[in-house]
Structure 1
Amino acid sequence: MRSNHSASRVVWTLTLCTSLALLGDSTLYAVLPSYHPAVGIGVVQVGWLLSMNRLVRPPLNMLSGWLSQRLGPRTPYIVGLSIGALSTIGYSLCRGFWPLLAMRALWGVAWALLAVSAYGLMLDVTVESTRGRLAGIYTSISYFGGALGAMGGGFLVDALGFSPAMFILGALSIGASLLALTLPRTQHLPARHVAPGVSLAWRPRLQAWAHALRRLDARLWLVLALSFAHRFLFAGVFYSTFGLYLQQTLGESLHVGAAVIGVASFTGTVLFLRNVVSVLVGPGLGYLSDVLGERSRVLLLGEVLGVAALACLALADSLWISAAGVLLAAMAYGIVPPMLVSWMGDLTRTGARGTIVGGYQTMGDLGSGVGPLVAYALAAAWGLSAVYGLGAALCALTVPLILLVRSRAAGRAPLAVADHGAHGA
């Protein structure tokens, strides 16, 4: 049986490594809109550069999950960190649209490898009694570290220039790759032996996949669906439209006493504070799910808070109601992803969860990618209040869905097995 101390050390190492890996990507989101002339690109090309990494990820997530299942998650994670460091250093060396686009695609490959394998490794080294708290630590703090790094990266670019700043951030990412070498190896499925001259025909393999999908636990289907829904509504709709929402609500600036704060600065500050709230909420509610021994109860709380958040934004006629909506959204964001990851870990076996984790990440990427497109199309026709109201209604549908799946699964034994002996030195 692995010790809590050992699992905590692994999760904190993963958290630090992932935070360092995110520095370059997060900084680009902060500085490219204003620094694009310095790297030889136009304003329209900024959107493509910031989207390319997401466009390449969905087909790679499943491959990353398969690699984690065959090799163990440690190796793909270290490779992903190394590729990410290479892409960040590449930002400092490249000029012009096409070279930078190639570096962004390379970062997409890196993130597909390290995000999926990090979840797999975190789930492998935890047990049900600690998984909620440790998943809350990893999920909330690693992304908070990236957001904090974006602020520092922005100051670094202002002080030193784009290329030197990116080189420094790339060096920090190399440090993350070296730190990841201390992570343990965990169980994985051995590669199937195939006799010489015998090929694995594609038709039987597809039939086997279809059979496995038909037998997949309904709770895992629910986790995948909720991953899409949550990322669609919050990483997609809310995150991408919040600046526009504040501009329409407050105008171009906000007067606080004698000070005048630009809406862009205020948006960045509010979204940063949202990350702070998520960090405060995630580990605590994860621990509560460990104590209760039931992820779905805390997950229901997160979904209800999400409904309330979007409803506040839809009905807001004052700054205070808007602030309440942001606070509730931050709490939902701190609860739902850790609960989904923890529940997925409870329902899958050590060494055999790679493809499910890859599917989870793919559904989330699709949701966050489609969300902004749908939100802006509907906002142009109906307005943002209607978009948030529709989002609240869709989020509300997740509550009876969770209750239905939970009632049908009542009394069924969890699928997770063999928590002991899962990792070596």
Structure 2
Amino acid sequence: MARMLTLFVLAHWGHHLLSSIIPPLLPYIRDEFEIGVTQAGALFSAFTIAYGVSQLPAGWLADRIGRRALILLGVSGVAIWGILAGLSPTYWVMIVFMVMLGVFGGGYHPSSAPLVSSQVEAKRRGWALGIHQIGGTTSNLSAPLIAAGLATLLGWRSAFVIPGAVVVVLGIVLYVLIGRSGPQASQVVKTPMTPMTPNLAEAKPGSRAGLSRLATYMIIGTAGQVFILSTIAFASLFAVDRLGQSEGLAAALPFMVYLGGMPAGPLAGYVSDRVGAGRMLIVAGLVAGPVIYLMSLVTSVWTSIPVLLALGALVFTLMPVSELYIINHTGEANRSTVLGIYYAASRGGSGFLTLGIGYLIERAGFGSAFAIAGSTMLAIAAGSVLFLWLQRRTGSTG
């Protein structure tokens, strides 16, 4: 079990590295191609929208043709397109490569989450998913430092090419090692649907009430991630344009987001195994909006640090806890498909919202854009909690 979790942590690190490098490099790319804030944000949106949309067919395929090959494409395939993005001669060519990077990445999460959760007994699923999250968090944590260091020393293009070459090799090695670990590493153990998560009210999984409850919790988890990811996508540009910092320092600033997220994933998974994923989603969802709003009040790098740490802790809490809730409330036959829907919404949604926030920034400024984003997130979370409360109060059975 320990060996398999380690392999999946490494795979998760490689999967996210090239995409995590994009936001810190936006100030460099903006200057290179002489584009505005909205166009710079569109580069990240091109990736995230394609990444989100591709989760739907990838999740369906994972349930039918197996997961190991999709994990290879999600690591080495992503890295190859990342290398090409770093070699882009024009802005529009880079847009195309960002789309392909997203398409190839779509199969990783719907394939890996069920495999990771199947390596442990049901009562430890949250812990396992939290450990798996360390790979993604470490990737996000190291990406701003790698981007800032390589961009300063060798130019921003090297920050795509050099890490990309390393990840291509890593993906191939992991593919072989996972295969050698036996069929249990690439196939999910057939287990019945086991809804273990305590909720405001229990509803029979598969019933109309159970499906509406599942959808509501997915909305909370998805919205929190979408609004936070779309906000932090502009952290580097915010540091340059509003806080007056250098591009090098601005590229490293997202490090704080992922530093906050590093302990949050495993801790959130551990706590969810004990108090319930539903309750964790509600708390994190309600807190997310006010913390995003705080970004509108930031006036210096020093005041931005605690806010970015908190945003990181929240988004990396929402990720494994959302996965746990879905896995505990879906059957094996359609688990990757439902996860694909969730990933499509949470990853693709941030791409669309990034465009919207970029538009608001250019029209009204960073402060107003962040304030609107935070207020909207709070309204969504509060409305979802109210729906769950009303469903419990009326004793809805479908």
Tell me which interval the TM-score lies in, with the shorter structure as reference length: 0.7 to 0.9
SS in 2 for 1:217: helix
Find the partner of 1:66 among 46, 60, 80.
60
Over 3 Å counting, the alpha-carbon distance change for 1:274 and 1:184 in structure 2 is same
Over 3 Å counting, the alpha-carbon distance change for 1:166 and 1:123 in structure 2 is closer
Over 3 Å counting, the alpha-carbon distance change for 1:298 and 1:69 in structure 2 is same
Letter in 2 for 1:312: L
How many residue pairs get aligned? The number is 368
Q: Is the 8 A contact 1:94 1:100 kept in 2?
A: yes
* 1:274 CA drift (Å): 1.7
1:129 aligns with 2:123: yes
The residue that corresponds to 2:70 in the other structure is 76
Distance 1:340 1:154 in 2: 31
* 1:316 CA drift (Å): 4.8
* 1:245 CA drift (Å): 4.1
Distance 1:278 1:33 in 2: 24
Q: Deviations over 1:50-104 (max 9, x none)?
A: 5443343343211101111112333322343342344355568876667765544
The residue that corresponds to 2:199 in the other structure is none
Q: Is the 8 A contact 1:65 1:117 kept in 2?
A: yes
- Give the structure-1-normalised TM-score: 0.72
* 1:342 CA drift (Å): 0.9
Over 3 Å counting, the alpha-carbon distance change for 1:317 and 1:82 in structure 2 is closer
The residue that corresponds to 1:313 in the other structure is 295
Find the partner of 1:240 among 225, 233, 237.
233
1:354 aligns with 2:336: yes
Q: Which has the larger radius of gyration?
A: 1
Letter in 1 for 2:257: R
The residue that corresponds to 2:310 in the other structure is 328
Q: How much identity, in percent, do the aligned residues show?
A: 18
Letter in 2 for 1:175: V
Distance 2:163 2:135 in 1: 23
1:377 aligns with 2:375: no
Greater CA deviation, 69-78 or 180-189? 180-189
The residue that corresponds to 2:165 in the other structure is 167
* 1:330 CA drift (Å): 2.2
Distance 2:111 2:164 in 1: 25
Q: Is the 8 A contact 1:71 1:188 kept in 2?
A: no
Find the partner of 2:186 among 181, 184, 187.
184
Unaligned runs of 5+ in 1: 1-5, 190-211, 254-261, 413-425
* 1:116 CA drift (Å): 2.3
Over 3 Å counting, the alpha-carbon distance change for 1:154 and 1:99 in structure 2 is same
Letter in 2 for 1:84: V
* 1:126 CA drift (Å): 4.3
* 1:363 CA drift (Å): 0.5
The residue that corresponds to 2:326 in the other structure is 344
The residue that corresponds to 1:386 in the other structure is 368
Distance 1:23 1:46 in 2: 19
* 1:28 CA drift (Å): 5.3
Tell me the C-alpha RMSD between the 2 structures. 3.7
1:142 aligns with 2:142: no
Letter in 1 for 2:334: A
Q: Is the 8 A contact 2:264 2:313 kept in 1?
A: yes
